[in-house]
Structure formats: C-alpha cells, structure tokens
Amino acid sequence: MEKIKIGISSCLLGELVRYDGAHKYNSYIERTLGQYFEFRPFCPEVASGMGIPRPAVQLRMVEQQLRCVGVKDHGFDVTEKLQAVSAQQSGWIPDLYGYIVKKDSPSCGMERVKVYKNDIPVREGRGIFAAYLQDHFPALPIEEEGRLGDPALRENFIQRVFVLYRWRQLCQQGLTTHGLMVFHSQHKLIAMSHNQNLARDLGRLVADVRADNLQQVADQYLVQLMACLKIVANRGNHVNVLQHIQGYLKTKLDSDDKQELVETIEQYRVGNLPLIVPLTLLRHHFRRQPDPFIDGSYYMKPHPGELALLNQI
C-alpha cells in the first residue's frame, strides 16, 4: 500500500523554522507514523515571509478583533499575512488525508491556544492557519502533536485518516449507490463504536440514496461520518459493538466458547485486557463460522497501521 499523504507543521520533522531558529522534532511521528504516512511539511510563518529568526508572535484581542501580533511589539501585526498565505495553500491541501499541527502555536495550534485579553492569557483560540484548515476542510482529520501522546486520541486520528483514504479510493473508482451502501456496511461498526445515534443517522441517510441524489447524499454522508468519527470511541461503546458482533455467533458456538467470549469481553470492559484481545478471539470464531457482513467490516479487519494501535486501547 502506498504511503498516505499527511500535512504536518515543519518544525515537528526537525526543520529549523521556529521563531528562534530551533525545531520541535517529534520522533514518534517520523519513526512510527512515518512507516504509513508520507509527510508534506509546511510552516505558514516562514511561508508568509516572516523569516528565521523572527519576532515571536501571539494571539491578542485588539479592539474586539483577534490579531496575531508581536509578543514584545504589539504593533508588529502579521494577521493578514498569515491569512493570505493560508488561503494560498488551497491547491495541495485537498490531496491530503490528514494534518498534524503544532500545539499552542499562534499559527498552527488547533485549539486552546492562548489569546491575550488585556494581558491576561485565556486558552480559547485557534492558530490562524489551523483555523483556515478547520473552516475550509471540515472532513480533513486534524490533530495536534501533543495530543498524539494519548493512545485513544492517536487511534482516533489515525482511524479517521484511513477511513478518508478508503472513501477517496471509492470516489476515484466511480461512486455508485451500491458502492456507497457497501462502504457504509464496511464502516458501520466503526461508526457505532464512536456514537451509536450518529451511526443510525448515517444508516438512514444511506437508505435514502438514489441515482438522482447520489452526489448530494454522498457529500452529506462524508461530513456526517467524519463528525461521528471525531468523537473518541470509548470502552462502553466498544463493548456494545463487541456484543453486537457476538450476536452473529449465538447459534454457532458451543457453551464453552460462548462463555469464554463473554468473559473476554467483560475483561476488556473492566480494563484488564486491550481491545485487540476480544477482537482476535472473535476473528478466530468467524474464520470457522464466516459471515459476509462481519467479513467485510473494517472494524474486524483494520489496516495493519490501525491494528497496531489496538494494543493500547
């Protein structure tokens, strides 16, 4: 499988682009995620012509407007420069399947960036470039490098990247009503593990697809699917999905196998086992008792890059 294209803040790959000429190299991103992802580095501050080194900047409310200004010289205002250079990247961003940004950055921070109000910092801002990404590419998975240290958030981001990759493959092959239905069937259990109500909404949306509304439904489906998947899957929802899958085996297992499966799911529920253990046991049973729906589900057969993450959640 070809590597998946991911945008990334340049400093996270070790490029010396920070305001002080330094970097914020993240070894996990390059050495581990780099096995699956092809990174496209970008630094909006350098691209806007601010130079290296350059004055440090911060987000600040100035006359009821959010501005990006110098830390020492508030008259040094680069708001329009950063907004303009962000908009100039619209040519290559649509080819990406995700984006990793630098946390706390006034240009790249995704959330909770300090905004100074009367010299009092309040963590409620978004970096100028990150805000552009979020506002103009709502289906694009975006995550901060600091949050990737959390196994659940890391799995959430990477799963969304792979789902978007599979969606684009479907569209490149030529979208059909049947293809959309198959895609939903393959991802239904994943959606259920994130939010069961939104998963049901997706099912109802797909049920109404026809040849004359295919593109409209598909566009709406992608937005709703990515919004659903952005909700971090929790242990309780995973248990519900595992028990749902278990139901496909209720007439096919003997009492000992049923009891072992029940106990394994319970051990996962209380936190004694990682998710990969009940999944592996279920896959073992379905190899002997195949089911077309389960066999097609990416919840049951994730990409190796996704699979490796299940050991930690």
Confidence of residue 13 (pLDDT cuts 50, 70, 90): very high
Mean pLDDT for the stretch of residues 117-124: 94
The pLDDT of residue 306 is 56
15 and 135 share one domain: yes
Confidence of residue 120 (pLDDT cuts 50, 70, 90): very high
145 and 189 share one domain: no
Residue 201 has pLDDT above 80, yes or no: yes
Cα–Cα dist 149/153, whole Å? 8
Q: Tell me if the bond preceding 53 is cis, omega within 30° of 0.
A: yes
For 271, phi then psi, to 5°, come to: 90, 10
The pLDDT of residue 309 is 55
Number of domains forming the structure of the chain: 2
Domain boundary residue among 105, 132, 149?
A: 149
- CA separation (Å) from 210 to 155, 177, 201, 223? 34, 6, 17, 18
193 and 227 share one domain: yes
Domain boundary residue among 101, 117, 149?
A: 149
Cα–Cα dist 194/198, whole Å? 8
The pLDDT of residue 303 is 64
The pLDDT of residue 32 is 85
Confidence of residue 310 (pLDDT cuts 50, 70, 90): low
178 and 309 share one domain: yes
Confidence of residue 267 (pLDDT cuts 50, 70, 90): very high
134 and 155 share one domain: no
126 and 274 share one domain: no
Confidence of residue 301 (pLDDT cuts 50, 70, 90): confident
Task: List, for residues 14-42, the tens digit of each pLDDT value.
Answer: 999 999 999 999 998 988 888 889 999 99
89 and 179 share one domain: no
Confidence of residue 302 (pLDDT cuts 50, 70, 90): confident
CB neighbourhood size of 306 (10 A): 19
SS (H, E, C) 56-82: CEEEEEECCEEEEEECCCCCCECHHHH
Residue 44 has pLDDT above 70, yes or no: yes
Residue 92 has pLDDT above 60, yes or no: yes
CB contact at 8 A, 205 and 223: no
Q: Which domain holds residue 229?
A: 151-313
144 and 181 share one domain: no
In the chain, the percentage of residues whose pLDDT exceeds 70 is 96
The pLDDT of residue 28 is 87
Domain boundary residue among 120, 149, 178?
A: 149
185 and 175 share one domain: yes
The pLDDT of residue 166 is 95
Mean pLDDT for the stretch of residues 192-216: 96
Residue 224 has pLDDT above 70, yes or no: yes
For 270, phi then psi, to 5°, come to: -90, 0
Task: List, for residues 148-196, the tens digit of each pLDDT value.
Answer: 888 889 889 999 999 999 999 999 999 999 999 999 999 999 999 999 9
The pLDDT of residue 2 is 81
140 and 227 share one domain: no
220 and 203 share one domain: yes
164 and 239 share one domain: yes
In the chain, the percentage of residues whose pLDDT exceeds 90 is 87
Task: List, for residues 47-61, the tens digit of each pLDDT value.
Answer: 999 999 999 999 999
